[in-house]
Structure 1
Amino acid sequence: MRTPGGGRDGAETEQGASLAALAEAGRDALADTARALGVDSLELHLSATRRVSRELDVHAGTAVTTRGESRTACARVWLGDSFGAAAAPVGGREDVRDVLAAAVRSAASGARGPVPPALEPGPDVPPALPEDTSSRLEALSERLLRTGLPPGVVVQAAVLTQTATWRAVLRADGGCRGEAGCAEEAFVRCETARGAVVDAVAAPPGGEVDFAPLRARLEEAVAALEGPAGPPSPGLPWVLHPAVAAPLVAGLAWLLRGDVAASTPALARAAGKKPFPSLLSVEDDPRQPLGTCLRTLDDEGQPTRALKLISEGRLAGFLHSAETAARLGAEPHGRGFREGTAPPAPSPLNLFVVPRADALPADCTELVARVETFTTMSRPGVVLLIAGGWEVRGGRRVRRIAPVELELPVMETFRALRGVGSDLTFFPTADGVGTPSLVLALTPPG
């Protein structure tokens, strides 16, 4: 059975209007509502997603493929001192009008939010989702089994996903922006004697999934978590390999969100100051060649661009949606993204710690394997890690370190940064952030 918007030519489907027809219905509804109300501060965000997953049973040699498609409309209206919003799944033209009408009805005095800036000229709305190439998943599955899984490892789950997306932002003043794209990822969960390890890789924009780094990290994790091990020695610096450091960098990404800064006055006041060591620089670049997320515009229709968030220890700014930018007196810069039908909120794209190629200490506690936990942020601003690895003396691994539990306050931990490696890696399992190895001056847990 064909799904909504599934035709490449944008034709009608058995399930409802094509995506091109939905966009046209949105333009008509905006124009009609603007004339009726005498305002043009109206916005529609239309989105469609087609997700295909292939779950492998490695031991049985079987696979199960699931498929789903969804379409959503989100409307926002600004009427004098009132603001209204509504969101719902949509199938046909009238559904789009219903969502816009619900947003108008929801407008309530005293709830006005900032009107997003005008849309800059850019890509028009694509006619449909990208072509369905989910048949590639079978070939990717075979390649994952052949090149991505270390021999002898107990694989509890292996899942490949292909996600096609289509987005359109329409304004009553005639402005419109849109884009479509497709992403592929592979997730693997392995069991070891000391807990489960979860890792993933994603295809770079326009490229193929490379399973070799996944296999290498899984091999290293299993080697560190199997066999005799002891507690860490006191007095040694800590080296967190990228797979262990990634949740810590994801915690830093959370801290750099404009909504977090707006609710944390001390953090907002730190902008322009130097709360971190000079060797820490953090950027968020939608076109980073190693990154996993390519977006040319955010869900408010604003173009994305590369951002310097921390420059040699100086806090240069925060990630902003239009709303948080207005609250903190900053310029919007294309980081307003929706989670389902929620209002746009600031989020990173390819946030990463800039590599430096600092020499790693000859004697250190080297953490290479992160054990899976239910959460990596035990409370706001504090990251929980359970990780194992090796004690290194004279540059050689001399004994295993049993998994240690670390509760790391993000600000204080990055102030203890003593070195940044060159092995920049991005992780779909940690909100897509990237990091090289990090050297930290930490106190071993008691």
Structure 2
Amino acid sequence: MQGGSGSEEDSGVAACAGLQPRDLLTSAGEALEAFKRHHAPAQAELFLAAERRLSLEYDAGTGRSIINQGETVDAMARVSWDARQGLLTATVGDAGALSLLLERTARQATPGRASPLPELPVQSEPQRVSGPPTLQPERAARQAPLGRASPLPALAARSDSPSVSGPPMLQPERAARRMKHFIDTAVPQGSVVQAALLTQVSTWRALVRASGERRARAEWREELFVRCETPRGAVVDAVAFPEAAEDDAVIAPLRHRLAEAVEALTGPAEPLDRGLPLVLRPAVAAPLAAGLLWLLRGDVAAATPALARAVGRKVFPSVLGVVDDPNHPTATRRVSMDDEGLSTDSLSLVEVGVLRGFLHASDTASRLGAPPNGRGFRIALSPPSPEAVNPFLVPGATAVLPADYTELVARVETFTTMPRPGTVTLVAGGWEVRDGRRVRRVAPVELELPVLETFRALRGVGTDLTFFPTAEGCGTPTLVFPPLLSGARGGQAAS
């Protein structure tokens, strides 16, 4: 890893960790061409990842923030032929190292199921990729794929050389301004900020095939995480800053949720009435929504035959819909293609309770006999696995609440929300509501919720869709359930 914020070279494109994206693409193409000559009929690809990362950490003791920045360039080689396959990842310090990486991958290839590389769709025009709004136009994150524009894809890819942008530049001044604005305006009275962290992650990812095909994309993410202490435990929350958003417009909902949490977790509280319907506000429902999205991954379905066979059946109540939309205006990410070069179109997973499909990388799609749907992402440069982009539970047209219910508005921090696969554990507090009015504070209660069984009991959804970086970017509105607490543990104040 190399520190610093990048440098400018003659090409007008900012280098990352001392390397130019254009040079990396050129070297990758040359390395793959040479590899193909010596290892025919092997399939091979190089996946390149350049990243800039900034973290701004607020020190509550001193009232000051500490900033750290760094840059990395990594590459993954994947080769397969006959019944052998190899996969190897390495940090790249020099563009010429890519040939060595391919040869090392070939030497370490082992017998096994050689997954075919997924076919890339034709893309003839560059696509715009979101970046920080203050970037200059020549540095804006712009996708520049090289598609198969003729029957000779390798020649077409090599002959077309559009401008290649690297990861967008970091914005430390803006990070400092946003942190100060949060500390000055959003910390509720009666709470102590134990930690606040603002991160900027700027990435450029490119896929280069031995056939000559190339895909490249850039992504910018800026998120603010906070941990506040209350009399009944810590509350963790976060927001993402969309492109061109005003600071206060983003921070205001976080301010409101933190104030709600502090009010719910401060002052006299009583055990809840276990016979009342249960209303989970978005901050409490988010881990449950993330648990449902985990079940809708193709690798989970491949390991759960009964779940895989349920596609096309009505598994849930009609009020439930689940969508993954990379272009949702209030979500946390903007991603036009996955790390396998496939388009990330809007994907409906559950419609009026009917299971429509799963999140797929090419490998899981092949295993289940389903078409790939552009959800193959490489976590820490591991092989592509299914991952949602902006998943959310579809909000209702109107909010319908029972007259009397338990309203849980604040989730107390726990070590993990899914200690066992398929079961979400929550500790949450809130209010008892009678005739639409909050009449008394409810002490935090621990809920152990089997995800499938819990969503099969879903009675209603609200209109207040909210996305949460703390729940893997999942979005959810308020969720309404029948009394679910007869088997719950706890019911006492969380320590």
User: In which range does the TM-score fall when normalised by the shorter chain?
Assistant: over 0.9
Alignment of 1:84-99 (within 5 A): 84-99=86-101
| 1:22-421 map, 5 Å | 22-39=24-41, 41-121=43-123, 123=126, 124=144, 126-209=164-247, 210-356=250-396, 357-421=398-462
CA distance in 2, matches of 1:206, 1:379: 40
User: Structure 1 pair 340/116, CA: closer, same or farther in 2 (3 Å)?
Assistant: same
**In 1, Cα distance between the equivalents of 2:7 and 2:474?**
32
Partner of 2:8: 7
CA change 1:217–1:11 in 2 (3 A) is: closer
CA gap of 1:15–1:221, structure 2 versus 1, over 3 A, is closer
Aligned to 2:419, the other structure's residue is in SS state strand
In structure 1, list runs of 5 or more residues that go unmatched. Answer: none
Task: Tell me the secondary structure at the aligned position of residue 373 of structure 2.
Answer: coil
Report the aligned-residue RMSD. Answer: 1.9
User: What is the alpha-carbon distance in structure 1 between the residues aligned to residue 66 and residue 291 of structure 2?
Assistant: 34
State the TM-score, normalizing by the size of structure 1.
0.96
Shift of 1:54: 0.9
CA-to-aligned-CA distance 1:150-201 (integer Å, 9 cap, x gap): 2342110111111111110111111111111221111110001111000000
Q: Is the 8 A contact 1:280 1:313 kept in 2?
A: yes
Structure 1 residues 51-104: Cα deviation after superposition (integer angstroms, max 9, x where no partner): 111111245221111112111101111212222111111111232222222222
Task: Give the distance between the partners of 2:382 and 2:166, measured in 1 at CA.
Answer: 23
1:36 corresponds to which letter in structure 2? H
Mapped contact 2:16–2:50 kept (Cα < 8 A): no
Mind listing any 5+ residue stretches in structure 2 that lack a counterpart?
A: 127-143, 146-163, 490-495
Aligned residue for 1:45, secondary structure, equals strand
Q: 1:238 to 1:12 in 2, by over 3 A?
A: closer
Assess, with a 3 A threshold, how the Cα gap between structure 1 residues 24 and 206 changes in structure 2: closer, same or farther. farther
CA–CA separation in structure 1 for the residues paired with 2:435 and 2:334: 42
Percentage of pairs with the same residue: 52
Instruction: Label 1:235 to 1:206 Cα distance change in 2 as closer, same or farther (>3 A).
Output: same
Aligned length: 446
8 A contact 2:323–2:347 mirrored in 1: yes
Amino acid at match of 2:68: T
Return the match for 2:469 from 428, 431, 442.
Answer: 428
Deviations 1:346-369 (A, max 9, x none): 011110000002311120000000
Q: Secondary structure at the match of 1:266?
A: helix
Deviation at 1:134, TM superposition (A): 2.3
Q: Residue 151 of structure 2 aligns with which residue?
A: none
Q: Work out whether residues 235 and 410 of structure 2, in 8 Å CA contact, stay in contact via their aligned partners in 1.
A: yes
Task: Give 3-state SS (helix, strand or coil) of 1:219's partner.
Answer: helix
1:12/1:377 CA distance change after superposition, 3 Å: closer
> CA separation of 1:378/1:328 partners in 2, compared to 1, >3 Å: closer, same or farther?
same
Match of 2:482 in 1: 441
